[in-house]
Structure 1
Amino acid sequence: MSSTGQGRPAQAAQPVTSDREIVISRVIDAPRELVFEAFTEVRHLSRWWGPEGFTTTTQSFEFRVGGVWDFTMHGPDGTDYPEWITWTEITPPERIALLHGESRDDPNAFESVLTFTPDGVTTRIEMRTVFPTKELRDEAVEKYHAIEGGHQTLNNLAAYVAEIAHNGEEG
């Protein structure tokens, strides 16, 4: 094994996924613990999740590794989108990894890693999503407007967290 500078092992080469990735980030004017809570409790998620004009109905929610969030997103045009997430890693209040698809057996499900980084009184949230293929990533961007929708979702989160922080509802 080769080593680097300080006698540490060299990092293993990371697989190239840039043509299959979408990375979206935003600084949110709230402490990391509050942003993490808003992302991990169904009572919060149902009030901000999704792009502008969408609402969410949860069928089941269990926030733990191996737990599932089974929900439907309702589009502004009345279209329902069945959604399914299983949590694959949870490190409060720093990181969440998940698998997201239309159902448990969805062959097109994608992986997302969310990181919550404190920066003074603000929090930088980053969503890094990796699709199984470049084609599925491109379809998500072109047909479902995934990049714009991701930005709108984080904007909704920021507005919601600001509201609950202002009203003293956290915790």
Structure 2
Amino acid sequence: MDKNPVEPNELVLTRDFYAPRELVFKVWTDPKHFGNWWGPKDFSLNVEKMDVRPGGMFLGSQTSPEGHVMWGKFVYQEVNGPEKLVFVQSFSDEEGNTVRAPFNPNWPLEIINILTLTEENGKTSLTLRGGPFNATEDERAAFEGMRPNLEQGFEGTFDQLADYLASQQ
């Protein structure tokens, strides 16, 4: 049984990258790399803190092209490089305190993400499973209502990741 349960209607995304698994894992866990590709297109990411170990935290801020700043955090649950990374993602303030999303008062306070990486013939397959964690019915409904936007957003983020990986080889 999977010890990282995701609630019903999880989001499952897969993408192949033409890069070694060790490199793909590194750009997810090294602050020198992570800030160069994570997030929406044309946003910048400032990595304030990145302590990738069980119980450790990523804390950072994203700035939109218009200058709007949003803070977020990951709390790492499992780190098993280079094959698995599990983290709970939340919006936060500058100190890392969990806050409600600025765009929807019913957005889940916590989203669990389970990242797995497998490599075959120099190509790494990434699977990201996730969804609301410790969520209310209203929070699950808000997540489900945003599913197409989430899929589109991750597609753009994964495009940036592919470009960044190509630049690192």
Normalised by the length of structure 2, the TM-score is 0.81
Which string of whole-angstrom CA distances, capped at 9 and with x for unpartnered residues, describes residues 61-110 of structure 1?
11111111110111223221110111100111000000000134446111
State the percentage of identical aligned residues.
26
1:152 counterpart residue number: 156
- The Cα of 1:138 is off from its aligned counterpart by 2.5
- The Cα of 1:27 is off from its aligned counterpart by 0.2
Which string of whole-angstrom CA distances, capped at 9 and with x for unpartnered residues, describes residues 7-43 of structure 1?
xxxx69x978442x21111100001001111111000
Contact preservation (8 Å) 1:108, 1:136: no
Asked whether 1:38 is paired with 2:44, we answer: no
Of 60-69 and 88-97, deviating more is 60-69
Query: How far apart, CA to CA, are the structure 2 residues paired with 1:83 and 1:158?
Result: 23
Query: How far apart, CA to CA, are the structure 2 residues paired with 1:129 and 1:138?
Result: 12
1:82 counterpart residue number: 71
Query: How far apart, CA to CA, are the structure 2 residues paired with 1:22 and 1:157?
Result: 19
Query: How far apart, CA to CA, are the structure 2 residues paired with 1:37 and 1:156?
Result: 15
Normalised by the length of structure 1, the TM-score is 0.80
1:64 counterpart residue number: 53
Unaligned runs of 5+ in 1: 1-10, 166-171
- The Cα of 1:156 is off from its aligned counterpart by 0.8
1:3 counterpart residue number: none
Q: Of the two, which has the highest radius of gyration?
A: 1
Question: Which 4+ runs in 1 deviate beyond 4 A?
Answer: none
- Letter paired with 1:45: F
2:112 counterpart residue number: 111
Give the alignment's Cα RMSD to 1 decimal: 2.1
1:138 counterpart residue number: 144
Q: Specify the SS of the correspondent of 1:102.
A: strand
